[in-house]
Amino acid sequence: MIIAGYEFRNESPFHKVYLTGIVRDKLGRKMSKSLGNSPEPLALIEKYGADGVRMGMMLSAPAGNDILFDEALCEQGRNFNNKIWNALRLIKGWSIADQPQSEASAIAIRWFDAKLNEAIVEINDLFDKYRISEALMTVYKLFWDEFSSWYLELIKPGFQQPIDAKTFDATRLFFEKLLKLLHPFMPFITEELYHALDDRDENDCIMISLLPEAEPFDKKVLEQFEFTKEIIASIRTIRLQKNIPNKEPLMLQILQDETIPFESVIKKMGNINQIERVDIKQNGAASFIVGTIEFAIPTGSLTDINEEIKKITEELHYLEGFLDSVNKKLSNDRFVTHAKPEVVEMERKKRSDAESKIATLKATLSTLTL
């Protein structure tokens, strides 16, 4: 074609040649009829939807490298479709009220606006380099990790509560921009949801709309929000470790007199009822460091220390009694020599488990009784 271009038009027929690799199965074998490892494309579309299959192909296709096709990727594509669908269902389920916007929502909008524009710049750059799979990954993460997991959680009104109009409008606009960014990859669901989002004129279709352009964005707000995310992640880790349910509000202490951004976000996402500055952390408080700042969560206040000591002491008693009986069995020669080896092994395991639990409880007890 290039040769003919020069001979008959005196110029090349194209500026760029995009070379795709060979489609292989997940074991790296070339797909062929005789191996029977080549899925029937229309059956895949039937099963996962065209958008799901398109996404499955692209998730496995860096330019020019052979692609390792795995049907699970189409499933991932379909799941993503469902994720987008459900996100819009959630938003459309909210009632709108004339009420002031919360500080957390205002911050969420500021932050996501910057995040979205940062992503648009990145996507444009990736398309310029024909790194199409990576561009898709960028939109995918933007939607799933940032928009769904953070933004929507932040602005989500309480159960059966309305949302303020300002936040709702911003959210709808974000959603529309996300749909546009997704449209080239998954044309069908985006068109459907574009129309579900708003009443449209006959010729107002996403496929002939214009992509959102990258606007200048506030890098500082992005940095600050990442910092905030780390704090929230640490709070969640402590809740897990200490077995404190999410619905139980906690207090967050900041050591030294440091200011931190977005306290309202931390309060909402970490279920923190109070943030205070202290010089030294309380005994029994869990602590963590983000950047150079140390934080503490006094968990002792939640549970009466004496109550806690009593609970631990009781458990220690029980375990020590249990360990005693296991030790008796194991010191009985008849048992050790006549019982089945796996039964003996089981008793030995009980012994070591009990011993380590006792050690942990004793350590906890010693910090509580300091």
Partner 1 sequence: MELNSKYDPSEVESKWYQYWLDHRYFHSEPDEREPYTVVIPPPNVTGVLHMGHMLNNTIQDILVRRARMQGKNACWVPGTDHASIATEAKVVNKLAEEGINKNELSRDEFLNHAWEWTHKHGGIILEQLKKLGASCDWDRTCFTMDELRSESVMKVFVHLFEKGLIYRGIRMVNWDPKALTALSDEEVIYKEQQGFLYYLRYPIENEVGYAVIATTRPETILGDTAVCIHPNDEKNAHLKGKKVIVPLINRVIPVIEDEYVDTEFGTGCLKITPAHDVNDYIIGEKYQLPIIDIFNNDGTLNDHGQQYAGMDRFEVRKKIVEDLEKAGFLEKKEAYTNKVGFSERTNVVIEPKLSTQWFLKMEQLAKPALEAVMNDTIQLVPPKFKNTYRHWMENVKDWCISRQLWWGHRIPAYYLPKGGYVVALSKKEAYEKAMKMVDYPLDIEELRQDEDVLDTWFSSWLWPISVFDGINQPTNRDITYYYPTSI
- Applying the rule CB under 8 A, the residues between 59 and 98 that interact with partner 1 are 61, 63-64, 67, 69, 78, 81-82, 85, 88-89, 92
Interaction of residue 41 with partner 1, rule CB under 8 A: yes
Interface mask toward partner 1 for 132-151; x: CB under 8 A: x-------------------
Interaction of residue 17 with partner 1, rule CB under 8 A: yes
Distance separating alpha carbons of residues 183 and 169, to the nearest angstrom: 21
Q: How far is the CB of 109 from partner 1 (least distance, A)?
A: 24
Query: What is the token pair recorded at 92?
Result: 């459309």
CB 250, CB 297: distance < 8 Å: yes
Query: What is the token pair recorded at 166?
Result: 């300002």
Interaction of residue 291 with partner 1, rule CB under 8 A: no
CB count within 10 Å of CB 152 equals 18
Interaction of residue 210 with partner 1, rule CB under 8 A: yes
Interaction of residue 187 with partner 1, rule CB under 8 A: yes
Q: Residue 263: name the closest of 225, 236, 237 by CA.
A: 225
Query: What is the token pair recorded at 342?
Result: 């796996």
CB 13, CB 5: distance < 8 Å: yes
Q: Of the listed pieces 39-47, 142-150, 228-236, 305-313, which binds partner 1 according to CB under 8 A? A: 39-47
Q: How far is the CB of 38 from partner 1 (least distance, A)?
A: 6
Interaction of residue 27 with partner 1, rule CB under 8 A: no
Pick one of 26, 95, 127, 328: the residue that binds partner 1 (CB under 8 A): 127
Interaction of residue 43 with partner 1, rule CB under 8 A: no
Distance separating alpha carbons of residues 206 and 193, to the nearest angstrom: 9
Interaction of residue 49 with partner 1, rule CB under 8 A: yes
> What residues contact 23, with CB distance under 8 A and at least 6 apart?
30, 31, 38, 66, 67, 69
Q: How far is the CB of 89 from partner 1 (least distance, A)?
A: 5
Question: What residues between 211 and 250 interact with partner 1 by CB under 8 A?
Answer: 211
Going 349 to 351 to 355 to 357, the CA torsion angle's sign is positive
CB 197, CB 175: distance < 8 Å: yes
Question: What residues between 164 and 183 interact with partner 1 by CB under 8 A?
Answer: 180, 183
